[in-house]
Chains A and B, each alone.
Chain A
């Protein structure tokens, strides 16, 4: 948890960034968590995803905020009274690990919520509540939207969305970044003592060439939010209240991906063409002889 003074400075810094209308995204390791500078926001139910609030600039691959939507959703009028006197669940433990080997791995989030017997059950009696994970993927890693949709069909997640570059075939040098948003129904954690584990399958793109033979990709911190609304809702006044879940900075998740070496270009290209030539000439010769 950040200290009070630190939070103030952070809010000011983020507000400055928000006003200038550009995101700081020099490298994935330098990226800061989240774009929301207030912990409570509201969004109409017609907007299903938090990620709609971010505009993916496909030219630069960077993330920039859409001012109008953030302004609208931060409107005091919109949120008025909705977040008052609501005892929302608090995250007591969060861990994120990159699990697996090779080009196909999983980001595994392990979470515990406190006050399981009492406050959580009371809260979920009155509210529909989803845990929202918004992970901004670094360059060179992508999520398959159709694979994630399979989780929704099997009712593991309530909803999933992928923003940005969803082309599964491009190498890193020719692709842009993407983000994944997962919605998880908190009712499911009652039976597991308010603990949950979420798997996000990810895949590596072919990295740019490097003499070391490996490219290293680092994940930034995800946004973790709680989204809730009262169970008895009227369609014209349906609003999701979205609250940042405060958590300590996560340990680094790093992915080492094998890549080609420029030094190989000479002999690989020449031997490839030579082999094709030898095999083709053998076949032509055989066609003459046999």
Chain B
């Protein structure tokens, strides 16, 4: 059975790879022959920055390059070998995400068929296979985040810390996972041999039979706060915090030494202070445009930051022990409440969705479909008004803003539905709780 499953997964990956290669080739043809490019504008920015580095200059010589110089270094072969190198790299990362999804679910005992569907849900999602082939770098971030999860699941704390520090330097948003990581790495993380014990997946039938697991509740706020305070100081937490923090500051230090304030302003500070008045999915875009000439008061800045902060804290305090679930909800909320929201951010939570589906009682018919229709429908509704504004020149700012409010409502609806139908199971078994009735990790 294992070899049959491996062949099937291999076939799925091979077909996905062929699809992505074909799209990259098609993209090159379209860019050369048609007026409308296949390639994302951002890819041209990365490539130009890489060319600047190849010529001995700074990647920030390229206007609107607002990423870590690491990305420009990764794309040096764009200038030295072929311009499509970066797209192939991002598509390979995309395939890696599929493999990591399979690994994570296998570690938790998900049956082969269910794993395959989860992997297919990622690899053959039209959104995900276009994003890498168009030259967007988000698949790399997704791959690293899933790798960090795998390292944590296998007890490789130092490796997880290394990659976490690097990825926060690369993209910043993963900083929202810092507190959940600290919580799961607390005193209850690993047993006497240093390896954590994972909770395994149980079928619905097994769940109905096993009353013990049905009584597993998300932690109460007070219990979590107390737990956080009393359990947070552990060897693993200190190691993780020190190494990931050192990695972040080390990379920042190196690039500040090389590129000075350009690096700090463009790659880090820009993302923290960004207020873009141009239309995007965020509910704040019109508010920002209406104030762009007069600026913002401190109260307004705080008011736009508070909902985000409150939601993140609530999700962390309640769900952090079910780490993939917490990360998924946090990411959806972070994107939905952010001051700027573009479609490429969606892939940040798309890669986590397959990890929580096996624990959801939501069936595709009809609640699953309802979530998809509501989410995609409100997005299409927004896109319609954006089309009228940007491509037809009609003044529909108010309508577009209302569409943004509706999209926030849709995101909230989906979050509530997912929360309601999710079977909360902590990722790791606390060593003191491992008793007879709780499943132990399968031997590999």
Contact = CB atoms under 8 A, between A and B. Distances in A.
Interface of A: 101-104, 146, 154, 166-169, 171, 173-174, 206, 208-209, 213-214, 256-262, 264-265, 268-269, 271-273, 275-277, 279-280, 282-284, 286-288, 290
Contact of A102 (B291, B310, B393): B393
A273 B283 CA distance: 9
Given A269-B290, A287-B419, A277 B397 contact: no
B292 A276 contact: no
Contacts of A268: 286-287, 290, 398, 401
Interface string B370-394: 0000000000000000000111111
Interface in B251-298: 276-278, 283-284, 286-287, 289-293
A262 B310 CA distance: 30
B150 to A, nearest CB: 27
A283 B415 contact: yes
A167 B318 CA distance: 44
A119 B441 CA distance: 88
Interface of B: 32, 44, 48, 63-64, 218, 221, 276-278, 283-284, 286-287, 289-293, 300, 303-304, 307-308, 310-311, 314-315, 318-319, 333, 336-337, 389-398, 401, 405, 408-409, 411-412, 415-416, 419-420, 422
The list of the 3 closest CB pairs from A to B, nearest first, reads A280-B307, A258-B395, A276-B307
Contacts of A287: 218, 314-315, 318-319, 419
A285 to B, nearest CB: 9
A280 B415 CA distance: 11
Contacts of A146: 44, 48
B78 to A, nearest CB: 15
B315 A264 contact: no
A259 to B, nearest CB: 7
Contacts of A284: 310-311, 314
Contact of A282 (B308, B389, B393, B412): B412
A169 B304 CA distance: 22
Contacts of A209: 290, 293
Contacts, number: 131
Given A169-B278, A171-B292, A283-B416, A101 B287 contact: no
A265 B290 contact: yes
A266 B43 CA distance: 39
Given A103-B390, A268-B401, A269-B300, A169 B64 contact: yes
Given A283-B412, A290-B420, 10 more contacts: A101-B393, A169-B278, A171-B277, A214-B395, A258-B396, A268-B286, A268-B398, A272-B284, A276-B307, A290-B419
B304 A276 contact: yes
A279 B409 contact: yes
Contact of A265 (B291, B391, B405, B419): B291
Nearest to B291: A265
Given A269-B290, A276-B307, A283-B333, A166 B318 contact: no
Given A103-B393, A280-B337, A288-B318, A260 B419 contact: no
B397 A260 contact: yes
Contacts of B286: 260, 264, 268, 272
Contact of B408 (A166, A173, A275): A275
Contact of A166 (B63, B395, B419): B63
Given A264-B398, A282-B416, A273 B304 contact: yes
A218 to B, nearest CB: 16
Nearest to B393: A102
Contacts of B401: 268, 272
Contacts of B397: 258, 260-261, 264
Contacts of B310: 280, 284
Nearest to B415: A283
B393 A264 contact: no
A60 to B, nearest CB: 18
A222 B56 CA distance: 38
Contacts of B221: 288
Contacts of A257: 393
A280 to B, nearest CB: 4
Contacts of A276: 283, 304, 307, 337, 408
Contact of A258 (B315, B393, B408): B393
A272 B278 CA distance: 16
Nearest to B421: A290
A258 B391 CA distance: 11
Given A103-B390, A174-B292, A275 B283 contact: yes
Nearest to A290: B419
A283 B286 CA distance: 24
B391 A286 contact: no
Contacts of A279: 307, 336-337, 408-409, 411-412
Contact of A101 (B32, B336, B392, B412): B392
Nearest to B397: A260
Nearest to A276: B307
Nearest to A212: B395
Given A102-B390, A280-B337, A275 B405 contact: yes
24 contacts: A101-B393, A146-B48, A154-B32, A173-B293, A174-B292, A206-B278, A214-B395, A260-B290, A261-B397, A264-B290, A265-B291, A268-B286, A268-B401, A269-B290, A273-B304, A275-B408, A276-B337, A277-B307, A279-B337, A280-B311, A283-B314, A283-B415, A283-B416, A290-B419
B349 to A, nearest CB: 14
A280 B304 CA distance: 12
A279 B63 CA distance: 36
A209 B337 CA distance: 25
Contacts of A261: 397
Contacts of A102: 389-393
A104 B63 contact: no
